[in-house]
Amino acid sequence: MLKKSISKTGAACRVTFKYENEENAETAVVAGEFNDWSLHATPMKKLKDGSFSVTLSLPTGHTYRFRYVLDGGVWVNDTQADDYAPNEYGETNSVLVL
């Protein structure tokens, strides 16, 4: 799930990424074009209900591909992403439009 809050100037957007975690993973990160697909740069916090969440401030006027990575190796999409785009691995990436 994505929650967006655009700044008063319109130059940035606070985006909350939330993953419901039906897989019962222990850890999750969000990896995407905004962090060079890093598996370490954007860890998500595990909430009391078992879901994961993290909030980032990103520049508006861009489209970003991203995925959630569970337990260091299971790549999953956001079921409520703005769009989806094929990747070079024959799968799809979630797309965030700001």
User: Domain coordinates of the chain in residue numbers?
Assistant: 2-97
Task: Report residue 90's pLDDT band, with 50, 70 and 90 as the boundaries.
Answer: very high
Provide CB contacts within 8 A for 19, sequence distance 6+: 1, 28, 44, 51, 52, 53, 68, 70, 76, 78
Determine how many CB atoms are found less than 10 A away from the CB of residue 1: 13
Report the predicted TM-score, pTM, of the whole model to 2 decimal places.
Answer: 0.95
Question: What pLDDT does residue 84 have?
Answer: 98
Query: Could you give the dihedral angle defined by the CA atoms of residues 41, 54, 62 and 1, in that order, rounded to the nearest 10 degrees?
Result: 130
Question: What pLDDT does residue 40 have?
Answer: 96
Q: Which CATH number fits domain 2-97: 3.20.20.140, 3.40.47.10, 2.60.40.10, 3.30.1120.130?
A: 2.60.40.10
Task: Report residue 41's pLDDT band, with 50, 70 and 90 as the boundaries.
Answer: very high
Question: What pLDDT does residue 54 have?
Answer: 98
